[in-house]
Amino acid sequence: MTVITFLGAGSVVFTRELLADLLSFDELRGVTLALHDIDPERLETAEAIARRTAEQLGATPKITASLDRRAALDGAGYVINAIQVGMHAATVRDFEIPARYGLRQTIGDTIGVGGIFRALRTFPVLAGIAADMRAVCPDAWLLNYTNPMAMNIAYLAAIAPDLNAVGLCHSVFWTVHDLCELVGVPLDEVDYRAAGVNHQAWLLRWEHRGESLYPRLDAAIDADPQLRRRVRMDMYHRLGYFPTETSEHSSEYVPWYLHHNSEIERLRIPVGEYVRISEGNLADYSATRAAVLAGEPLDLHRDATEYAPQVIHSMETGTLRRIHANVANRGLISNLPAGFAVEVPCVVDRLGVRPEAVGDLPPQCAAVNRGFVSVGELTVRAALDGDPRLVRQAAMVDPNTAATLTVEQIWALCDDLTAAHGALLPESLRP
């Protein structure tokens, strides 16, 4: 029987959505779902949601729940990773401490000082997951949703190159979905291809029956001046290819916007957005827990199926699918550094997730990506070498941080964040 392990199952809203997608496939309605979280209450809630979801869908999975990660991984064929090390409290620290220095962030989970320290908190747990998988499910596929996606996949590729690990993110799909709505073309009639790095990939081709849709997008932007007041639209106008993550995300990966009050106003950038999102997640968790304990039915309506259920279904049934996913750059994008994680088109079937080589990105896109990659490479190397100086050097080359702070401020900020996160960080990187 197929065993699907959920790590971080206490992310209950996301877990509910994944379960609804999984159990909607006829071939997966009898799988084993092994749930794991380190928080007993959240694990209890996740188990209740899994049972309620199965009941509402008329599915008959075997459901287990364990606080012991290795026990939950034993015999798994697929491992869905959705952990958040430090939870809301760590997120608040990642925003409040930099803000004292005048450093603005919007999401703080990818690069920047927020992404750097989120990665450093996550790496030790990833190392433990990799060790457990090697011991009890060495052939399983690790389907990672945890951010910072690119750094996490690059770190896993460095410490466990034999592990079947792939990063899944919905940003490419939803970018194309929303652009198709904007230009009035059905998504299922569109062909598209994107590549770059996670949260900063580029829509290289976007076509309807062989015709590029970019001219229609240009016409829509020309017709609505408010559309131009978004970071992604500004980047597209200046770089020629549409970036595949929200304007909130995109604004903090480059040096051009957050340092300037006028740009924040012009492009309507919501500084500190992820703190509000994180607070909303806590409220969603409480509401979902209350609803399931009260016996209320869950809302299982889904506008689109997440990637992990599609990947599992394809591997189990041989159904051929093409997705965009994150893997180590082993000859896939030739003008980005080898070894770091890239987001590229992939084919999925019984043989697994197989990335497709893209070749060179447009030079201006690769140039922007390389600033992103440099931060990630130094952060991964800091953890591998146990070198605190590399953490600070990663922050020094981060585009938004470097545009805002002096080098003295950057080092002092890293000292403060290191002290604040304490034991969540690798011991070698603490004072």
Per the annotation, binding residues for substrate are: 147
Amino acid present at 224: D
C-beta neighbour count of 259 within 10 angstroms? 18
| 3-state SS class at 63 | strand
- R_g (Cα) of the chain, nearest Å: 21
Could you please report the per-residue DSSP string of 280-318?
HHHHHHHHHHHHHHTTPPP----SS--HHHHHHHHHHH-
Question: Catalytic pick from 170, 177, 208, 260?
Answer: 170
Question: How far apart are the C-alpha atoms of 312 and 305, rounded to whole Å?
Answer: 12
269-306: b or e for each residue (b if 16 or more CB lie within 10 Å)? beeebbbeebeebeeebeebbebbeeeeebebeeeebb
Handedness of CA 255, 259, 261, 262 (dihedral sign): negative
The strand pair at 164-168 and 78-81 is best described as unpaired
Could you tell me which residues are annotated as the binding site? 147, 169, 199
- What residues contact residue 258 under an 8 Å CB cut-off, 6+ apart? 104, 105, 106, 251, 252, 264, 269, 271, 400, 403, 404
Instruction: Give the H/E segment covering residue 248.
Output: helix 247-251
Residues making up the annotated binding site for Mn(2+) are: 169, 199
289: number of CA atoms within 13 Å, CB side? 16
Cα–Cα separations (whole angstroms), residue 213 to 170, 200, 205, 208:
21, 20, 9, 7
Token pair 């491992």 in the structure block, residue: 79
324 included as an active-site residue: no
Q: Is the dihedral of CA 389, 395, 397, 403 positive or negative?
A: negative
> Active-site residue numbers?
170
